[in-house]
Homo-oligomer: A and B are copies of this chain.
Amino acid sequence: MVYAVGLMSGTSLDGVDAALVEISGKNETTSVELLEFLTCPFEEKTLQKIRETLSLESSDVEKICSLNIELGELFAKAVLMVCDKAGISSDELSFIGSHGQTLFHIPFARADFYASTFQIGDPAVICERTKTTVVSNFRERDMAVGGQGAPIVPYSEYILYQKPDTTRLLQNIGGIGNVTVIPKSGKLADIVAFDTGPGNVIMNELCLYFFDQEYDKDGLHASRGTVDQALLKELMTHPYIQKSYPKTTGREDFGKQFTATLLKKWQLPPEDFIATATMFTAKSIAKAVKEFIEGDTELIIGGGGSYNQTLVSMIKQELPNVQVLIQEEIGYSSEAKEAIAMAVLANQTLQHCTGNVPNATGAKKAVPLGSITYY
């Protein structure tokens, strides 16, 4: 067993998740145990800079050049903090797997744009500050072999969650929602994974707009509102929701611009608006997973959305034949799941083993993911 840290900085912009794990083996023999976890929140100033670089209007090459290093420093800080919390020195780490902050994702080529994905957070800075080898930029290699670069966690989920007698639907609800289907006693090749649609992104944008709050804590606003059926019906006609898997989406499709358009078109009380957005996420998840329900089936919710009680009960209501659980209920950390996955992928890459699931991303073959910056 060696120590490693996985770093995730998701589309929710909650901050940097750092998971300290003990890990050994590779491929199906991988064993990984979570020792410590923390989220290092972004300061408002940094958050502002990230938001600027995410937008077509306010991003530019200078801001991106600088933010790449600034985030590298922050990611390194998160590593040092999680080590400190666990009482070990970063010198004792064998490696770090860092996802980086996604600035943009173009799953399919169109007009003058190549299919591409773009994460920043300089691995060289993380490497120097922590005196540890870093594996980074996991998504690009999958896209280089024809994949959509997403979802990126199914390999790790297969390792951690496979069960002989139960189909498990692992539903992550970050900014965007994504599901990994692990059929009972299935092999790696049987796994299906795709983005279900919006996660918290629309709700968060609405909370920011109406209440100047980052997100709907515990789903309180949504719990006080009434779902507007007309708006919900329109939302469910969104082409992404109607499309079959494999498919992948991003903040580009359901973020600031999308929400602004809704706000312009629909005049609703704030809490009804948020309740409807919450139900949209619930219904889009239910629609996406329905075809995989067979016998004993569990839907295990992870990510920030698992703490939104209104959202979770709406999902339960939409999926009456499924046992809906949150990660903590099966003994896993919901928050830590994606960060742990980055440690698992890095462990694969350092042993020249593959980390993508072609069935999930649409890639032509399984490949090792990421680039290695050796200390």
Contacts and interface: CB of A to CB of B under 8 A. Distances in A.
A124 interface: yes
Contact of A141 (B68, B112, B140, B373): B373
A144 B128 contact: yes
A66 B145 contact: no
B60 A59 contact: yes
A2 interface: no
> How many identical chains are in the complex?
2
B61 A143 contact: no
Interface residues of A, number: 53
Interface stretch (A19-27, A99-107, A210-218, A310-318): A99-107
Contacts of A55: 61
A64 interface: yes
Given A61-B54, A372-B374, A144 B122 contact: yes
A137 B53 CA distance: 21
Instruction: Pick the most buried of A112, A115, A118, A123: most chain B CB atoms within 10 A of its CB.
Output: A118
A41 interface: no
A47 interface: no
A7 B122 CA distance: 21
Contacts of A61: 53-56, 59, 64, 103-104, 118
Nearest to A48: B112
B144 A105 contact: no
Nearest to A120: B118
A368 interface: yes
Given A57-B60, A61-B103, A349-B374, 20 more contacts: A56-B62, A62-B104, A64-B104, A64-B118, A66-B112, A66-B113, A68-B116, A69-B115, A69-B140, A69-B143, A72-B144, A124-B137, A124-B143, A128-B141, A128-B144, A128-B145, A141-B373, A370-B373, A371-B371, A372-B373
Interface of A: 49, 53-57, 59-62, 64-70, 72-73, 103-106, 112-118, 122-125, 127-129, 136-137, 140-141, 143-145, 349, 352, 367-368, 370-374
5 contacts: A56-B62, A72-B144, A123-B140, A124-B140, A372-B374
